[in-house]
Structure 1
Amino acid sequence: MKIMRVETKTGRVTSEAAEVLVLTHCEGEGLSQDAVAVDQAIGGVLRDVLQSKEFEGKANELALVHTQKQLAAKRILLVGLGKKKDVSVDQLRQAMGHAVKRVRQIKAAAFTVALPAVTPAGSSLVEVAQAMAEGAILGSYQFTTYRSEPSAPKDVKGMSVLVPHKDGLRPVTEGVRRGVATAEAAVLVRDLCNHPSNVLTPTMVANEAKAIAKEESLTIKILEERDMEKLGMGALLGVARGSHEPPKFIILEYKGSKKKNERPVVLVGKTITFDTGGISLKPAENMEHMKADMTGGAEVLASIRAAARLKLPLHLISILPVAENMPGGRAMKPGDVVKTLSGKTVEVQNTDAEGRLILSDALAYATRYKPAALIDIATLTGACVVALGQFAIGMFGTDATLKETVRKAGLRSGERVWEMPLWEEYFEQLRSDVADMRNIGGRGGGMITAALFLSKFVGDCPWVHLDIASTDWSERERAYIPKGPSGIGTRLLIQYLIDRTL
């Protein structure tokens, strides 16, 4: 998808020659200063629309008004923000997601949006502008690569954020810069997850990583199967054994910090390009969604690209263990024992619990960098979906400060986390009769036992695990979330990285 151009400019709403001028409005409030000026120019039409209750300003409500050439703008699009006291940064993001869809529906190529008169308490202009840019870009997302005939409406090409005074131009421009970079990252993730697994193989993921490394001047190292064998990555190799597609282990490094010997932030993402469940085969229903079982890997790849584009002053490493989980003749079987990179042995009682296996080797490898913070992100467990539904990411961790920083980044990005317990008592469910541990712990507390399994491979590093199985795929279209792969978790990671540098 070609990313919409977003720019900032100073000017007055009454003299802005736009195809569509977007104005926000809060339910139960009078017209804003900008809206009053527009309303006077077009003969009180906006006031009439409010008085007739055709438009009340409820959250995400829309009303389109033609100006009949009485104004430089051709049309006015009113977008509701809901009650003034309830306006949040994410509500602004949602409003822009709905607005851009309406702009596309009327076949306008571009639009201008005035800064909202009502902004969330405690939020800066940078945060407001970032959310607006993200909402517009993400709300306009379409994936049409495999359609032989064009069926989707043409993309909206541009959005301008209108700033009334020059002193607001710098923070708004910075917010737009951040918003574009984070939205571009989420779009990359959605695209990668939408590609079918016969296209996006482990080798193609490696090629994508190489292209990004070259484009953004990142250091890249790719371990092949023979390299993994020498290192002793028995868990990752065990998962990959049933597939004809060779596994890859990708390490990308960005050195944006000027400090010498700064300990890195390390991001690790589960990258299963297709998950059949292996010998423990999944049901056929919705198995096509398993092309997105590499969402975590796509997100850490997109995050390091965003960090480089934003020139964040930090040292960052992204690790992608990449494999297919297939039921071939050489496939790993229930009852097999694998030896991980850490030296610990695992009895594989269910080959569909493969994500934690590839992550065990990746996390053990990550500890070699002695990270200041280690975060893994993965579509790990169906139990997460049962526990949290589709609106919260499951969070576990060993470091209170890191967990709190991630939680706050989730609130800012609108990709919220909910902490779950990581109590040692649950490890009783993972005890094996023949190995150090087994890879499943039974039905009870499945999300917890999976996280506890991972905790055995992170040493004493400050660590957070994010289970995005609940949020990675949306069954319906929402304001700025498409049906299908959502990319949720990407902006959370990038916001966390931004927050570390502030």
Structure 2
Amino acid sequence: MDFRAIELSFLDWSGDALAIGLFEDAVELTGNLAQLDEKLAGTLKELIEESEFKGKDGSSAVTRVGTGSPIRKIIVVGLGKADALKLDSWRRAAAAAARLANKEKCKTLALALPVWHEAPDATAEAIVEGVELALYQDNRFKSETENKGLKLEQIDLLGLAGTEASITRAQQICAGVMLARQLVAAPANSVTPVTMAEAAQAIASEHGLEIEILEREACEELGMGAFLGVALASDLPPKFLHLTYKPEGTPRRKLAIVGKGLTFDSGGLNIKVAGSGVEMMKVDMAGAGATLGAAKAIALLKPDVEVHFISAVTENMISGHAMRPGDILTASNGKTIEINNTDAEGRLTLADALVFAEKLGVDAIVDLATLTGACIIALGDDIAGLWSPDDTVANQLLKASEMAGEKFWRMPLEEKYFEGLKSPLADMKNTGPRPGGSITAALFLKQFVKETPWVHLDIAGPVWTDKESGYNSVGATGFPVRTLVNWVLGDA
């Protein structure tokens, strides 16, 4: 798909579909809009009246223009109230317009949207992200696609000439999001620890990143008993992935992103039962998927920041070799863990990954994981939880997420809740009481980071959606690749 940033007015553009962005309760046709309506023989006014279009955020309408017009279809998209605008409003409006134009079998589309706070580059980037992500289709596992392929070939961003660099940047970020979507959406017989390692190797080879893949024996030498305890029952070998992006010259800062990588979670001997959503446990590697997606985007963007992308990848399966409830595992920092629930395995893999990350001497660590159902109960499907003892890095992530339109809510690290994790036999248990389950999970992880500023992201809810919304289609969302990229770039 070809994006063009041009200064041309919507009054002079010609092509298949023209999309106009309108604010809520401000859809009167004055000035250039009145001229456009006159040029279209009243079609724009008729569309607004007949569809009862009010400009509400997420709303849209389309109609055909009469013969002899330089455009074939006119589209209106709502931006919501002008005093409540966010950068994400542009993404959603662009997504709505692109979906309608594609559905109407248009090959060319012009987007006439106001500029965000007089920031043309941010506007262009948000628009391109909205279009790219909304039109993403994953037909890899279908024998027939019913001719539902992409119709749009060219999209013109009117009034945004000179923003070509921002368009390229948006496409590079979206390439990372789409990789994450593909990894998370694929079934567990397609994405395994072995194929995740191959995906990491492909990123390294294509973009010149350093890569280290630790096999079981190397993990044993490093004392990764928590990670390897989870891997015991799988017939597939565990893979510890470490990708490194290094800029030319001295890096401005050094960061680590650690993603949970359970390519399938059966629950282990505490097996997940029917109705528990076990068939969706392919998404338990969404943290690792987003980590690799961020690695791809960062490699394309080439910032002056050194970034380490880490994931301990395995399956949590059932066999005669499986870890048992009551077993005691020793992590690579010497901490001992009594297993009271084999279905709380992600935090065990993250424990050794966090210890590994801190030894790299980075300035900050962010881990991301589909860690707890408790976080979904607390925040729903659209909002991820954020925990950190460090206000500076926590605020950086929150600002980065606001720019990305990916929702997080900072949660408390209530230290007294760690009492629920204490074990009479070991340093800690791997789960605490049911109340505050997402908090005790964060407190568990905190035991494996000594001094480095650290943020934990519980992304269990937003990594998958069962309905089309905004610029997300049904399925994997690629959350939170764009937040991670914004944080690394330091744009927040």
Q: AA paired with 1:100? A: A
Q: Which residue of 1 aligns with 2:54?
A: 56
Compute the displacement of 1:108 (Å): 2.0
> Do the aligned residues in 2 keep the contact of 1:346 with 1:438 (CA within 8 Å)?
yes
> Do the aligned residues in 2 keep the contact of 1:23 with 1:35 (CA within 8 Å)?
no
Partner of 1:187: helix, strand, or coil? helix
1:34/1:365 Cα in 2 relative to 1: closer, same or farther (>3 Å)?
farther
Partner of 1:200: helix, strand, or coil? coil
Q: Which residue of 2 aligns with 1:98?
A: 96
Name whichever of 43-52 and 137-146 sits farther off: 43-52
Q: Which residue of 2 aligns with 1:279?
A: 269
Of 12, 21, 42, 2:9 maps to 12
Q: Does 1:311 find its partner at 2:294? A: no
Name whichever of 84-93 and 288-297 sits farther off: 84-93
**TM-score computed with the length of structure 1 as normaliser:** 0.93
> Do the aligned residues in 2 keep the contact of 1:221 with 1:252 (CA within 8 Å)?
yes
Q: Which residue of 2 aligns with 1:142?
A: 137
1:246/1:34 Cα in 2 relative to 1: closer, same or farther (>3 Å)?
farther
Q: AA paired with 2:141? A: Y
Compute the displacement of 1:448 (Å): 0.4
Q: Which residue of 1 aligns with 2:167?
A: 176
1:402/1:156 Cα in 2 relative to 1: closer, same or farther (>3 Å)?
farther
Residue correspondence of structure 1 range 314-329 to structure 2 within 5 A: 314-329=305-320
Unaligned regions of 5+ residues in structure 1, if any?
A: none
> Do the aligned residues in 1 keep the contact of 2:90 with 2:123 (CA within 8 Å)?
yes
Partner of 2:80: helix, strand, or coil? strand
**TM-score computed with the length of structure 2 as normaliser:** 0.95
> Do the aligned residues in 2 keep the contact of 1:92 with 1:128 (CA within 8 Å)?
yes
Q: Does 1:126 find its partner at 2:117? A: no
Distance 1:491 1:373 in 2: 18
Residue correspondence of structure 1 range 358-437 to structure 2 within 5 A: 358-437=349-428
Q: Does 1:230 find its partner at 2:228? A: no
Q: AA paired with 1:68? A: G
1:81/1:263 Cα in 2 relative to 1: closer, same or farther (>3 Å)?
closer
Unaligned regions of 5+ residues in structure 2, if any?
A: none
Q: Does 1:337 find its partner at 2:328? A: yes
Compute the displacement of 1:367 (Å): 0.5
Compute the displacement of 1:129 (Å): 1.4
Q: RMSD value over aligned CA atoms?
A: 1.8
Q: Does 1:348 find its partner at 2:339? A: yes
Q: Does 1:22 find its partner at 2:22? A: no
Distance 2:167 2:303 in 1: 15
Q: AA paired with 1:12? A: S
1:458/1:162 Cα in 2 relative to 1: closer, same or farther (>3 Å)?
same
Compute the displacement of 1:55 (Å): 2.5
Q: Does 1:81 find its partner at 2:79? A: yes
> Do the aligned residues in 1 keep the contact of 2:400 with 2:491 (CA within 8 Å)?
no
> Do the aligned residues in 2 keep the contact of 1:42 with 1:70 (CA within 8 Å)?
no
Compute the displacement of 1:442 (Å): 1.6
Compute the displacement of 1:81 (Å): 1.5
> Do the aligned residues in 1 keep the contact of 2:107 with 2:154 (CA within 8 Å)?
no
Distance 2:16 2:89 in 1: 24
1:315/1:47 Cα in 2 relative to 1: closer, same or farther (>3 Å)?
same
Q: Which residue of 2 aligns with 1:39?
A: 37
Q: Which residue of 2 aligns with 1:471?
A: 462
Compute the displacement of 1:72 (Å): 2.5
Q: Does 1:240 find its partner at 2:231? A: yes
Q: Which residue of 1 aligns with 2:487?
A: 496
Partner of 1:215: helix, strand, or coil? helix
Partner of 1:222: helix, strand, or coil? strand
1:271-294, CA deviations, whole angstroms, 9 ceiling, x for partnerless residues? Answer: 100001111101222211110110
Name whichever of 82-91 and 314-323 sits farther off: 82-91
Compute the displacement of 1:32 (Å): 6.5
Q: How many residues align?
A: 490
Partner of 1:450: helix, strand, or coil? helix
Compute the displacement of 1:246 (Å): 0.4
Q: AA paired with 2:274? A: A
Distance 1:377 1:321 in 2: 12
